Structure 1
């Protein structure tokens, strides 16, 4: 169950970053609301997950999910670079997150 909370925390992290993007694109009120709610929810879910998972694993997976997810959103919706080297480094983050999960 802790892993589901951790996935929810990562999803909230991605939504929070989308809120930041909304703020930077001129939608200040809605972006701030999305950012505040999403990051609050993400930290609450992370807290619950850390009741059962080691802190280093939980936080590493949480930040990895946020990094990979926000990069994917940026590429798909905001025209961020999908340069092969960038994708390779993101692949490294995925490998690291899977390694943290498998090392438990």
Structure 2
């Protein structure tokens, strides 16, 4: 169950980062609200997941999901680069996250 909670925490990290992007684009009030809500939920769920998942693995999975998720949001909604090398390195992050899950089973 805590792995599911960790995945949800990673998704809310992406929500928080999206709030940062909105602030950068000039949408201060809505961006700040999204940022605070996203990170508050994300950190809370991360701490719950870390009750049974070791720190290094939980944090690695959480940041990996945030990195790849934020890059995907940037590509879809903010017209960021979809260069093949960028996609390849995102794939490597995904492989690393899955690897962490496999070795911690």
- Normalising TM by the smaller chain, what interval? over 0.9
Cα displacement (A) at 1:21:
0.8
Q: Does 1:30 align with 2:30?
A: yes
User: 1:40 aligns to what?
Assistant: 40
Q: CA RMSD in A?
A: 0.6
SS at match of 1:82: coil
Distance 2:98 2:5 in 1: 16
**1:49 corresponding residue in structure 2:** 49
- Structure 1 segments, 4+ long, off by >6 Å, are none
Q: Which residue of 2 aligns with 1:61?
A: 61
Q: CA deviation at 1:4?
A: 1.1
- 2: CA distance between counterparts of 1:75 and 1:29? 24
Distance 2:8 2:75 in 1: 22
Q: For structure 1, which runs of at least 5 residues remain unmatched after alignment? A: none
Structure 2 gaps of 5+ residues are none
1:95 aligns with 2:100: no
Asked if 1:5 is matched to 2:11, the reply is no
**What TM-score comes out, normalization by structure 1 length?**
0.98
User: What TM-score, normalized to structure 2?
Assistant: 0.97
Distance (Å, rounded) in 2 between the aligned partners of 1:101 and 1:14: 20
SS in 2 for 1:80: coil
CA distance in 2, matches of 1:7, 1:88: 22
